Every structure is written in C-alpha cells, then in structure tokens.
C-alpha cells in the first residue's frame, strides 16, 4: 500500500503516465494512479535516494552517496552510472537539474558541475511503447501504433518505414491518447483505430488523412474492433470498457454521396449483457460468430442477427 518511509522527492512522468517517488529506501517506486501498490521498482542505488529529474527521455536519480543513475524507462533498467563523489568530494550535492538546451545534467554542491547524458533513440521506430499492430496481407505492410498516439506504416519486404503520422487521437487539452486497437476495414485500404478514451477513427493509412470518426462508443478504452459482413452491408464492431458491443455501418456500404457528407458515424445498435469491462474480442466472419471475454472471466458468444447473448461459456463445476 502507501509507503511507510519518508518521501524525499517525487515526479510525474508524463511520457509513460506514471508517478516516480523516492526516499529512505534504496529503490525508486513507480506508481500508476490510482493503483495503491507500485507497478515497478527501480533498484540499483546503495544509499537513500535524494532527488529525481527527467531529461533526454530518461529518469535520473541521485543518492546520499552522490551516485547518479540514468534509467531507461522503456526497459525499466539503469543504463548509465555517474560517480559524483569523485567530483564533489567535500560537500554534499544539494540539488540537480536537467539542462535541456545542452542536453546534460547539472549538479550543485559548492560549485556546479555539468554531466553529459546521451538519449537512447529507436532508429526510425517508436519512442514510446507499441500498444497495437496489424498486418495488411494485400499490400504486405504492417501498421504499428503506440502509447503517444503515433502511427507508423512499414514495408515488410524492405523493413523500411513508409509513413508516420502523429497525434492520431488527442484529448480536449490536445494531449496524445494511447491507441489500444487497430484493424483494417473489409477493403484492406483503410485503417480503423480505437483509443484509451473511447474514440474511434477511420484513416487513409497511406496518407495519414482522417476520413471519419465513429462516435457513441462511450467512456473507457476500446479493447477490440472487428469487421463483419451481414448481408447486404459491412459493419464495424467495437467493444471495451464500455461493457457492451457496439456496431456501426461501414461507410463504404453507403451511397458515395451520403458517405462523403458524413464526418461522424453514429452506432446502429449496442449489444448489452456483460457486468464487467470487456478485455478482448474475437470473430469468425463466415459463421457470423462474435465472442467476448470480460474482466470477471465471463466468455460470451453473441448472436449478431438478434443482437442478444447466445451463450455463456462456463467451466463445469463453477
């Protein structure tokens, strides 16, 4: 639960949406609000940790032994160790700060010292965790999306990045929102994305142009998207923390002039029957079967024609 020792410093790591704290303990706790226990512990210091700063994409900490550690937040591991005792021999290090212009760390004892910090960069890849990926067999391309709402398209024959577009999903403050689900539509020419805040969008993925937005999903993360043909139309199904399965008419099933005029698409129907957040979804289009799995372990087979629950899969004896 809550830490039982004095806290000497804490810092909000916006890039990974975690809170880092340090104190008398010799490790750094990383917290995911509102979870009451640390989700990560960064261990490597031999003394109590005094201060935390963020710079060059890394977390930097200093302890009472004047040891400075640079942490890679993608691997949650130390990547650089600086011995401040050798440079600040007589006086304790009072504070440290990151100089973003010179890309280095400044420590202050009796006099300031500058330390070079090298940022780890992913060559032509993502700079935050990849949260979703989908393969397009027709064009032999891969689309990957990450937690900072960046989408990349890759040529699998050459391994080269074809296009990159940023801020695919943003909140009311203009901050990027984690992309949680991706799928191609039935034509394999357009990309559908779902995000942590319940927004869903349709893209021309070869240019990065947003074509439509699917509204009405509700609050919470989109955990699954599927495309299914129900004669005579194609539909897009989505589920997640809204605890229901919602579906929209695929705009390419509409007359061209009608589809062109619609920038926002409203759901045709919501299928309800789960008590907890839906975490995953699978479909078998040829049999028109849709299956969802919920946080409470409930597995439901849905009847797509009626929009009702067809069956619950229950283990014998439960």
Looking at residue 122, its pLDDT comes to 46
Rounded-to-integer distance, Cα 175 and Cα 137, Å:
33
Sign of CA dihedral 282, 288, 289, 292: positive
CA 84 to chain CA centroid, Å, is 36
Query: What dihedral do alpha carbons 248, 251, 254, 258 form, nearest 10°?
Result: 110
Q: How far is CA 247 from CA 216, 225, 232, 261, 271, in A?
A: 10, 9, 15, 20, 8
Alpha carbons within 13 A on the beta-carbon side of 67? 15
Rounded-to-integer distance, Cα 17 and Cα 112, Å:
31
Composition of the chain by helix, strand, coil, percent to 5: 5, 50, 45
The H or E element that residue 261 is part of is helix 256-261
Looking at residue 33, its pLDDT comes to 83
> Please, are residues 199 and 175 in contact by the beta-carbon 8 Å criterion?
no
pTM: 0.61
Q: Are strands 209-214 and 244-249 parallel, antiparallel or unpaired?
A: unpaired
> Please, are residues 98 and 105 in contact by the beta-carbon 8 Å criterion?
yes
Rounded-to-integer distance, Cα 53 and Cα 115, Å:
13
Rounded-to-integer distance, Cα 248 and Cα 76, Å:
40
pLDDT along the chain (318 residues), means of 10: 74 87 91 84 90 88 88 80 69 78 81 74 72 93 94 86 88 94 93 97 88 93 93 93 93 80 88 92 85 93 86 74
Q: How far is CA 201 from CA 43, 208, 210, 250, 289, in A?
A: 41, 11, 7, 12, 24
137's CB contacts (< 8 A; 6+ apart) are 188
User: CA angle at residue 177 from 176 to 181, to 5 degrees?
Assistant: 135
Looking at residue 318, its pLDDT comes to 53
158's CB contacts (< 8 A; 6+ apart) are none
SS3 253: helix
Rounded-to-integer distance, Cα 221 and Cα 75, Å:
25
Cross-strand bridge partners of residue 75: none
pLDDT in tens, 282-309: 988 777 789 999 999 999 999 888 888 8
**Per-residue tokens: 159:** 């391994």
52's CB contacts (< 8 A; 6+ apart) are 9, 10, 11, 20, 21, 22, 28, 59, 60, 61
């Amino acid at each position: 639960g809550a830490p039982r020792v004095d806290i000497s410093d804490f810092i909000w790591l916006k890039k990974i949406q975690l809170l880092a704290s340090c104190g008398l303990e010799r490790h750094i706790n990383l917290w995911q609000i509102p979870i009451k226990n640390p989700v990560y512990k960064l261990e490597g210091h031999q003394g109590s940790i005094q201060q935390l700063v963020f710079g060059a994409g890394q977390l930097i900490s200093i302890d009472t032994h004047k040891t400075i550690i640079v942490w890679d937040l993608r691997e949650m591991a130390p990547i650089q160790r600086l011995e401040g005792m050798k440079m600040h021999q007589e006086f304790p290090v009072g504070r440290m700060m990151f100089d973003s212009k010179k890309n280095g760390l400044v420590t202050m004892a009796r006099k300031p010292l500058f330390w070079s910090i090298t940022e780890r960069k992913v060559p032509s890849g993502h700079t935050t965790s990849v949260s979703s990926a989908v393969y397009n067999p027709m064009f032999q391309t891969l689309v990957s999306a990450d937690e900072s709402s960046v989408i990349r398209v890759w040529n699998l024959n050459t391994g080269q990045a074809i296009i990159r577009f940023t801020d695919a999903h943003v909140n009311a403050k203009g901050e990027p929102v984690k992309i949680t689900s991706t799928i191609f539509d039935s034509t394999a020419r357009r990309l559908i994305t779902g995000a942590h805040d319940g927004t869903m969008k349709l893209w021309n993925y070869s240019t990065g142009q947003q074509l439509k937005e699917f509204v009405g999903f509700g609050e919470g993360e989109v955990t699954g998207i599927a495309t299914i043909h129900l004669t005579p139309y194609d539909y897009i199904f989505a589920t997640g923390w809204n605890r229901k399965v919602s579906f929209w008419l695929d705009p390419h099933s509409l007359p061209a002039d009608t589809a062109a005029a619609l920038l926002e698409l409203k759901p045709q129907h919501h299928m309800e029957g789960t008590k907890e957040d839906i975490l995953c979804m699978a479909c078998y289009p040829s049999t028109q079967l849709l299956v969802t799995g919920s946080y409470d372990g409930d597995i439901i087979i849905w009847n797509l024609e009626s929009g009702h629950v067809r069956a619950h899969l229950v283990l014998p004896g439960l």
